[in-house]
Amino acid sequence: MTKSKVVSLDTAMEKIKSGQCLMVPGFVNCGVPQTLIAGIIEKGYTDLDIISNNTSVKGKGIGKLVHENRIRHITCSHIGNNTETVEKVVNGEINVTFVPQGTLCERIRAGGAGIGGVLTPTGLGTIMQEGKQILEVDGKAYILELPLRADVALIHAWKADKMGNVIYHRTARNFNQIMASAADYVIVEAEEIVEIGELDPDIIVTPGCLVDMVVQARLEDRDE
């Protein structure tokens, strides 16, 4: 008999510690693991190193971690939508590493695939190439971008079965799929948890072999 991976939020939070590197998916506030973010705030974890596309908007989604001063460093594509993040970066309260969005996706994908990096022309001749190896292939120059991995990935799913097989809802998939492959430990929050066998295998996006825990998403954590 297959053991269920469904746990309480409190149990899931035991896998997170202050100072860890966390992957937090979502595009602005779509596909963001709201309940897991709430759990981090409730438990008081801080000094976090975050990998995320952006920091949402003030007071919503990952922006709650910004507001609560839980982030030490963030690797992201942009922060302009969240004025509070901008203020904290300017004041030296949060360190930021900017990565072009396509490059960010590929670096995470490389981390999940176990390959040594990706070659891209994006950023050549700009500050993006500072401190990085420049390689030439067939007479063209490329920046070698190294893989990104995290201690824990916090994933938001539309549905998950008790084995941890996951499907996403349309554009809410965004960074969830690749981030679920690029962390040492993967915690999924699901809007709906179903029995093993209820999900059509043909529509499963993230297989249960990549998922360590499943938590029921709480309605009260959703941002309007």
With the CA atoms of 50, 51, 55 and 59 taken in that order, what torsion angle do they form, in degrees rounded to the nearest 10? Answer: -40
pLDDT of residue 224: 60
**One-letter amino acid of 184:** D
Give burial (CB, 10 Å; 0-12/13-18/19+) of 189.
Answer: buried
pLDDT of residue 143: 98
pLDDT of residue 2: 76
pLDDT of residue 172: 96
- Has domain 9-114+151-218 been given CATH number 3.40.1080.10? yes
The model carries a pTM of 0.96
Nearest alpha-carbon partner for 207 in 174, 175, 167, 153: 167
Sorted by where each begins, the domain ranges of the chain are 9-114+151-218
Kindly report, residue by residue over 176-223, the tens digit of the pLDDT. Answer: 999 999 999 999 999 999 999 999 999 999 999 999 999 999 999 987
- Asked if 134 contacts 142 with a C-beta cutoff of 8 angstroms, the reply is yes
Start-end of H helices in the chain:
9-13, 34-43, 63-67, 83-90, 101-113, 176-179
Kindly report, residue by residue over 85-102, the tens digit of the pLDDT. Answer: 999 999 999 999 999 999
Distance CA 186, CA 184 (A): 7
pLDDT of residue 223: 79
Residues in the chain where the model's pLDDT stays below 50: none
Angle in degrees, CA 15, 176, 157, rounded to 5: 80
pLDDT of residue 1: 62
